[in-house]
């Protein structure tokens, strides 16, 4: 199993390293297998961490390899002693611009389907009729993409100058990835929440007040007021250390990919 998986990863120009998770680590992760992207020296590689007690019950198989695209779909199945399925996870692994990436995806068997599953429904609807080759580009007539973020042209938007924010970070709720920085951003609607490192999902004003009354020292947690689920528009330069900077000449609406942030994935971006 290990040798076959390694050979499949080599087809996309990537190395894979297998390590063992202790039972305690596996319980903490909530999964018998965990994928990561690590760096050894100056080289990136995939790391597959397997629960040491699941060696004989975990089946890893590569469902499709796209050598030219440098992507593959990996299936991890956990079986019981009778060979019946207990659980399974699908992963899209490959190269995105400058770095390797791994994403937990829905139950798909092809690279094309895995990529499509990461796109918001609105984008999939707008690109109906386009070829797969065009859909998989980072720049199309429908969107621009940088990492996990999609930007849809919204030229009719007229932003109120006093509400335009500069160098605005775009961060997936819950953290775990580096922020993409938008030169200009305009947020509409959404729910006001207080956010800090201890409460990355944010607290409503009522929850925040209750916490401060109960624990006064919580005032010093470095809170920032943000909007939960607003409609966000950006323009100008969109920067990220792992991706080429893109420039949006007009306002674009921001959509996040639909990646399932499973605990089976340790590093994602």
State pLDDT tens for residues 67-93. Answer: 998 999 999 888 877 778 888 889 999
Chain position carrying tokens 């893109």: 246
pTM of the model: 0.74
211 within domain boundaries? yes
Among 117, 141, 169, the domain boundary falls at: 117
228 within domain boundaries? yes
Provide the pLDDT confidence category of residue 263 given band limits of 50, 70 and 90: very low
Nearest in space to 187 (alpha carbons), one of 152, 155, 233: 233
Among 117, 143, 176, the domain boundary falls at: 117
Chain position carrying tokens 């290990």: 2
Same domain, 213 and 244: yes
pLDDT at 28: 53
d(CA 173, CA 162): 26
Instruction: Please count the CA atoms within 13 angstroms of the CA of 163 that sit on its side-chain side.
Output: 10
pLDDT at 53: 65
Asked if 151 and 257 touch (Cβ cutoff 8 Å), the reply is no
d(CA 155, CA 157): 6
Provide the pLDDT confidence category of residue 34 given band limits of 50, 70 and 90: confident
Domain count, the chain: 2
Same domain, 137 and 242: yes
CA 194 to centroid of chain Cα atoms: 23
The range of the structural domain enclosing residue 129 comes to 121-256
Three-state DSSP at 187 gives: strand
User: Which residues share a beta bridge with 164?
Assistant: 186
Same domain, 147 and 72: no
Same domain, 248 and 212: yes
53 within domain boundaries? yes
Among 92, 117, 142, the domain boundary falls at: 117
């Amino acid at each position: 199993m290990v040798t076959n998986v390694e050979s499949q990863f080599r087809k996309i120009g990537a190395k894979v390293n297998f390590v063992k998770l202790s039972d305690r680590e596996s319980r903490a992760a909530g999964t018998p297998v965990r994928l990561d992207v690590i760096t050894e020296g100056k080289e990136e590689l995939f790391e597959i961490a397997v629960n040491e007690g699941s060696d004989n019950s975990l089946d890893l198989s590569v469902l499709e390899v796209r050598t030219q695209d440098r992507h593959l779909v990996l299936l991890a199945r956990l079986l019981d002693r009778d060979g019946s399925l207990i659980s399974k996870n699908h992963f899209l692994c490959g190269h995105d611009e400058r770095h390797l990436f791994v994403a937990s995806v829905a139950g798909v068997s092809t690279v094309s389907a895995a990529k499509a599953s990461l796109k918001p429904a609105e984008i999939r609807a707008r690109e109906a009729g386009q070829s797969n080759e065009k859909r998989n580009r980072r720049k199309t007539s429908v969107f621009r993409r940088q990492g996990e973020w999609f930007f849809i042209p919204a030229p009719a938007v007229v932003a109120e100058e006093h509400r335009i924010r500069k160098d605005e970070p775009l961060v997936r709720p819950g953290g775990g990835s580096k922020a993409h920085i938008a030169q200009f951003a305009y947020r509409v609607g959404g729910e006001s929440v207080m956010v800090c490192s201890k409460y990355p999902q944010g607290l409503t004003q009522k929850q925040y007040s209750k916490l401060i009354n109960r624990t006064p020292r919580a005032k010093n947690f470095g809170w920032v007021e943000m909007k939960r689920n607003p409609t966000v528009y950006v323009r100008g330069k969109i920067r990220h250390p792992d991706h080429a900077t893109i420039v949006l000449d007009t306002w674009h609406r921001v959509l996040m990919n639909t990646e399932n942030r499973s605990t089976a994935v340790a590093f994602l971006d």
